[in-house]
């Protein structure tokens, strides 16, 4: 028991270390001392303005990676628990296609750029993700029997339909193609503090909500019927899980676009580390997601410098092989 609490603290320390390292990495390499000095508020004696680089460019980006990774990792753990399915990720109930449709609609309508702050495009993405989750939940509830299977099926139907609409919009508005594709690939670049402050509270609220649902999620791992026999109000709990996970996912997607794989693999890594009780698994998955996304973003910023790769492409590209290695190591 105590040991697993300590492991969460261990993850926090790793996250802090990776975060500090990420502040130092970039076109202008800073020493650890310079980073700490800048954070402490001193302008530093370095010729170039280290304080500005840290505070205006890198710190918001690092904070954003932490927020997005946290939300995706925790939501992934919750959905894997709710659906008893190791393949579930934050996007199973349609958050990615919903946000893509929302954002694409705004872009096609000539809405404000998402690059600066929590503008119209992120708002469209947020509303699209929440809207998709609502449609999925209402259809599953209307369908009635086997509520959890209903959620999965409705999620898949809505994803497919919304995905097709995004393609349609791309064909009809080929002048906006570049911006739409840029959104779909997901990136943490050039967002600034506005995105952190805009998305952070929603991610935090969602993750806290998921942590409060840890005992119901444990019970659900035994199956719907056994959980109900323990007194679990299934519809209420599945609604609450979908609501909290959708909030975290929608906010993450709104500020960063669709970033795949982090929400799928983070819970698997965390499970190997802290076990399956959601009390530990949910926060550990969030922290693991944050660490993974930070590392991926460091790579995206530096590997082809001065060109920045979209981190969403990188997570999907590296996530696949990484996942295979992790799973192979666990089963051996």
Partner 1 sequence: MSGRNERRDRLVIDDLACGYGRRDVLSKVSLAVEAGTVLALLGPNGSGKTTLLRTLARLLRPRAGRIELDDEPLWERGRRWAHRRVAIASQDDPGGSTLTVEEVVRLGRAAHRGWWRPMTEDDAALIGRALGRTDLNRLRTRPVAELSAGEWQRVLLARALAQEPAVLLLDEPTAHLDLNYQVEVLDLVVELARDEGLAVVLSLHDINQAAVWADRIALLAEGGLLAIGAPVDVLTPEHLGRAYGCPVVVERHPVFGTPMIIPRRRQRPENAGHDAGGQGEDAAR
Shortest distance, position 216 Cβ to partner 1, whole Å: 5
**Residue (84 or 324) nearer to partner 1, CB:** 84
Shortest distance, position 114 Cβ to partner 1, whole Å: 37
**Residue (188 or 219) nearer to partner 1, CB:** 219
**Residue (164 or 229) nearer to partner 1, CB:** 229
**Residue (6 or 230) nearer to partner 1, CB:** 230
**Residue (165 or 272) nearer to partner 1, CB:** 272
Using CB under 8 A as the criterion, which residues of the chain lie in contact with partner 1 when the complex forms? Answer: 84-86, 212-213, 215-216, 218-219, 221-223, 225-226, 228-233, 237, 271, 275-277
Shortest distance, position 4 Cβ to partner 1, whole Å: 12
Shortest distance, position 204 Cβ to partner 1, whole Å: 19
Shortest distance, position 327 Cβ to partner 1, whole Å: 14
**Residue (129 or 232) nearer to partner 1, CB:** 232
Encoding tokens for residue 17? 């270390």
Shortest distance, position 319 Cβ to partner 1, whole Å: 21
Q: Is 65 within 8 Å of 188 (Cβ atoms)?
A: yes
Shortest distance, position 265 Cβ to partner 1, whole Å: 16
Encoding tokens for residue 88? 């579930």
SS3 readout for the chain: CHHHHHHHHHHHHHHHHHHHHHHHCCCCCCCHHHHHHHHCCCCCCCCCCHHHHHHHHHHHHHHHHHHHHHHHHHHHHHHHHHCCCCCCCCCCCCHHHHHHHHHHHHHHCCCCCCCCCCCHHHHHHHHHHHHHHHHHHHHHHHHCCCHHHHHHHHHHHHHHHHHHHHHHHHHHCHHHHHHHHHHHHCCCCCCHHHHHHHHHHHHHHHHHHHHHCHHHHHHHCCCHHHHHHCCCCHHHHHHHHHHHHHHHHHHHHHHHCCCCCHHHHHHHHHHHHHCCCHHHHHHHHHHHHHHHHHHHHHHHHHCCCCCCCCHHHHHHHHHHHHHHHHHHHHHC
**Residue (65 or 213) nearer to partner 1, CB:** 213
């Amino acid at each position: 028991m105590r040991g697993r609490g300590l492991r969460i603290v261990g993850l926090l320390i790793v996250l802090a270390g990776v975060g500090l390292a990420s502040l130092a990495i970039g076109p202008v390499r800073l020493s650890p001392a310079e980073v700490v000095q800048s954070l402490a508020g001193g302008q530093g004696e370095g010729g170039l303005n280290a304080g500005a680089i840290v505070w205006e460019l890198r710190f918001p980006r690092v904070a954003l990676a932490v927020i997005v990774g946290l939300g995706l990792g925790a939501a992934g753990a919750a959905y894997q628990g709710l659906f008893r399915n190791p393949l579930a990720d934050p996007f199973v109930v349609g958050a990615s296609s919903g946000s893509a449709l929302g954002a694409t609609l705004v872009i096609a309508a000539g809405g404000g750029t998402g690059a600066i702050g929590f503008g119209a495009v992120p708002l469209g993405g947020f509303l699209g993700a929440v809207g998709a989750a609502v449609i999925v939940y209402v259809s599953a509830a209307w369908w009635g029997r086997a509520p959890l299977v209903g959620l999965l099926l409705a999620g898949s139907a809505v994803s497919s339909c919304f995905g097709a609409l995004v393609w349609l919009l791309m064909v009809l508005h080929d002048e906006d193609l570049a911006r739409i594709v840029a959104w779909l690939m997901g990136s943490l670049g050039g967002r600034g503090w506005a995105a952190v402050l805009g998305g952070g509270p929603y991610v935090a609220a969602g993750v806290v909500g998921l942590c409060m649902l840890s005992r119901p999620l444990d019970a659900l791992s035994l199956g719907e019927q056994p959980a109900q026999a323990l007194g679990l109000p299934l519809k209420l709990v599945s609604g609450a899980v979908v609501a909290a996970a959708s909030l975290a996912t929608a906010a993450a997607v709104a500020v960063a676009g669709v970033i795949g794989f982090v929400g799928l693999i983070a819970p698997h890594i965390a499970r190997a580390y802290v076990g399956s009780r959601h009390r530990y698994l949910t926060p550990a998955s969030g922290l693991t997601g944050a660490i993974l996304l930070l590392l991926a973003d460091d790579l995206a910023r530096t590997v082809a410098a001065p060109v920045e790769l979209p981190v969403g492409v990188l997570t999907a590209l590296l996530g696949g092989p990484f996942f295979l290695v992790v799973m192979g190591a666990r089963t051996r």
